Amino acid sequence: MARLPEQIGPLKLVQQLGVGRHCQIWEARDGAAARPVAVKVVVPDMAADPAQRKLLNHELKVLKSLDHPTVIRADRVSDDGGLPHLVLELFPHANLKKQIAGGVESLAPRLQRIVTEMALALDHVHARGWVHRDVKPDNVLAAADGQVKLIDLAIATKSAGLLGKLLGGSTKAQGSPSYMPPEQIRGQALDARSDIYSFGCVLFELLAGRPPYAAPTANEILNMHVSAPVPSINAFNRNATTSVSEFLRQLLAKKPSARPGSMKEVLKQLRSIRLLEKLG
């Protein structure tokens, strides 16, 4: 992968924060005022691909339609320096995937706030008519006090309306295998309940240290989402409450109709149960 220059238009790159298949995420200083920002830059090898610019523009459109403290803010898309990039709010904290790798026990004291703020973020996304489609620990940044920012809405899609559901509208099966609901795997119409399933996968991982389904290949994992029973969280974390075990069974139901109908319903249940027997 070709190396990025230190300066991209008015942006001075400071340190790399993350990397994806076609993009890198950097902390940068913007303009003469050296304002701290994050920047999502298409790597030089893919800079001429119009599909990458299209994804950045789409993510900007989605983020500009949102306004909530738990969702990352976006500034602009630019081609300065010949590298398409999206300038974002800087929230200098590790994603949940990295934090889970350090042990779920360390997350316990702030777990309730983390998942509640995740649910608030997704409720806002859904209220504005979007489905995230890629809810996973990698796409949630979390501070030491549990404050979160939902990121990476590049493949967000409009929620299927009633007509789309009646007609059986389909969408391309994009997303991350470990967190995809059965209807997304099948390329069927998606709504808030699809993100609710993925939210359930993240909650499971925050408690267990691993996603609900694990297998050597992506296809095997996808098949497990479609047909395998929901695993018991208590097999991985004896500190998980009976209430959260039942809650996870609802979130991870194979049929969307068997899941909570909205993130507001998820929030109501979250606020009425304890996730862990002991916090430390």
DSSP H or E stretch at residue 242: helix 242-251
d(CA 51, CA 100): 32
- Closest CA relative to residue 95, chosen from 20, 169, 177: 20
Q: Which residue has the tokens 């409720």?
A: 123
User: Which residues are CB-contacts of 257 (< 8 A; sequence separation ≥ 6)?
Assistant: none
Burial of 44 (0-12, 13-18, 19+ CB in 10 A): middle
Query: Rounded to the nearest 5 degrees, what angle is found at the Cα of 163, between the Cα atoms of 253 and 125?
Result: 60
- Catalytic member of 134, 138, 191, 195: 134
Distance of CA 250 to the CA centre of its chain: 20
Query: Do 41 and 78 meet the contact criterion of CB atoms below 8 Å apart?
Result: no
Query: Is 134 an annotated catalytic residue?
Result: yes
Tokens of 95: 């994603």
Q: Which of 85, 15, 19 is nearest to 47 (CA)?
A: 85
For residue 121, the number of C-alpha atoms closer than 13 Å in the C-beta half-sphere is 27
In the block, tokens 């993009």 appear at: 23
The residues assigned a catalytic role are: 134
